[in-house]
Amino acid sequence: MALCLLLVIVAMVLGIIGVVAKGLFYLLVIGVVVLVADFVLLGLRMGRHRRLPR
């Protein structure tokens, strides 16, 4: 779970820097990609825990 929190923080920092600094729009794009990857990772982890053992 710490990895997910770290990825969200990194995505937010990259996004803020990408918006504030001129010419660094690519950092905003990288931040969005990291955030989406984090949500996918979180979804896969939660999907594994939902299955009930038989």
Give the torsion sign (CA, 10, 11, 12, 18). Answer: positive
Residue 8 CB neighbours (<10 A): 15
Q: Tokens 């990288």 — which residue?
A: 30
- Residue 52: the pLDDT is 60
Residue-wise pLDDT for 11-49, tens only, equals 888 888 888 887 788 888 888 888 888 888 888 887 766
Please report, for residues 27, 40, 50, the alpha-carbon distance to residue 21 in angstroms, rounded to integers and kept in the order given: 9, 28, 42
Its pTM stands at 0.68
Nearest by Cα to 17 from 26, 7, 4, 5: 26
pLDDT(51) > 70:
no
